Amino acid sequence: MTKTIRHFWVAAALGLASLTAWPQSWVKLPFDTGAGTPVQQVEGVLRKPAGTPNGHALLILHHGGGFSFNTTQQYGEFFAQRGFVTLELKMFDVTSAAPPPLVLRGHMMGGLKYLAQMPGIQQVSAMGMSLGSFLTIDATSSWFYNHYQAGDLRFHKLVALYPVCWFYSEAVQGKAADIRIFTGMPPDHLQRLEGIPLLILAAGRDSYDALDANACPDFVKRIPDPKQAERTQVVVYPEATHAWDHGRNYSFPVRGGCKGRSDCTNHIISSPDTVEKGKQATLGFLLEK
């Protein structure tokens, strides 16, 4: 059952016709962590589309700061206003409550299955930020669909916002066993891929990637599957930092998580301009035939 929290009413919008209301509800959906494991539940905020539904559903996955950071709402509202059903998963509330990686991927599969069975939904895509972007990139792998028993069900398109691309350059070479986000996954999980269209929106000044604007393009060059490589696009925002959509400037130390497994300080600068560019790039990608 769902509990309707409130209805948002939006008057005039950004040079478009006035937007109508869209309802928001908290929902609980089942997930598991693989064959034979107990069924659990994860919560999320479900938004129905304003105006005419377009048949698209979008799963939105938050970053490692947790759901309480409230980064996903801006995307849920933006896409609901444009005809999408959106689901913002609350995988965990704060960083200290983050579950193991296989649970996080189970959440994602639970979101896919939940949205796919909704009336009127023709295709389900996903977007994620930082930690959430790791999940969207991993959802290109055949391992993901096999492990979570998806049958023929697949995401339509995937979007990764400011992923840590040195992680993935290591992972495609089978060298990521010591990187926590890949715990429990086979070392070759990125060797067999599904060819799902993937858009990477990268920060040109990402501290995790040592401010290397080529980190994500270099990862794409290493993708071993030609079909997946061909269907993967990268947009680099040269002056953007990691977490450009957090709404404030701050920094924190990172131990062993920066390029080459080094320590660094993650410097984050809010960039509303990059947020808007990212929304538009994602919208165009998702609606492109």
Domain span including residue 185: 3-287
Q: Would you state the pLDDT for residue 205?
A: 98
Output the domain CATH number for residue 93: 3.40.50.1820
User: Are 61 and 135 within 8 A, CB to CB?
Assistant: yes
Distance CA 209, CA 216 (A): 9
Residue 22, pLDDT score: 59
Portion of the chain with pLDDT greater than 90, in percent:
91
Each residue of 84-99: pLDDT tens digit? 999 999 999 999 999 9
Sheet strand arrangement including 158-161 = 3-8, 22-31, 40-47, 85-90, 56-61, 123-129, 158-161, 198-203, 232-237
pTM of the model: 0.92
Q: Check whether 7 has a pLDDT greater than 90.
A: no
Q: Which of 102, 113, 166 minimizes the C-alpha distance to 135? A: 102
Q: What is the mean pLDDT of the chain?
A: 92
CB-based contact 55:121 (threshold 8 Å): yes
pLDDT tens digits along 13-22: 333 333 444 5
**Rounded to whole angstroms, how far apart are CA atoms 91 and 104?**
7
Q: What does the pLDDT look like over 111-155, one tens digit per residue? A: 999 999 999 999 999 999 999 999 999 999 999 999 999 999 999
Model confidence at 9: pLDDT above 60: no
**pLDDT score at 258:** 97
C-alpha 122/C-alpha 75 separation (Å) is: 20
Residue 81 has pLDDT above 80, yes or no: yes
Q: What CA–CA distance (Å, rounded) separates 107 from 31?
A: 6
The structural domain count of the chain equals 1
Q: Please give the pLDDT value at position 23.
A: 80
pLDDT digits (tens, 9 = 90+) for 152-208: 999 999 999 999 999 999 999 999 989 999 999 999 999 999 999 999 999 999 999
Asked if residue 56 lies in contact with residue 86, where contact means CB atoms within 8 angstroms, the answer is: no
Report how far residue 184's alpha carbon sits from residue 188's, in angstroms, rounded to the nearest whole number: 12
Q: Which long-range contacts (CB under 8 A, 24 or more apart) does 131-134 make?
A: 131/61, 131/62, 131/63, 131/64, 131/98, 131/104, 131/181, 132/60, 132/61, 132/62, 132/63, 132/161, 133/61, 133/160, 133/161, 133/162, 133/163, 133/200, 134/160, 134/163, 134/164, 134/167, 134/181
Rounded CA-CA distance 181/137 in Å is: 12
Q: Is the pLDDT of residue 103 over 70?
A: yes
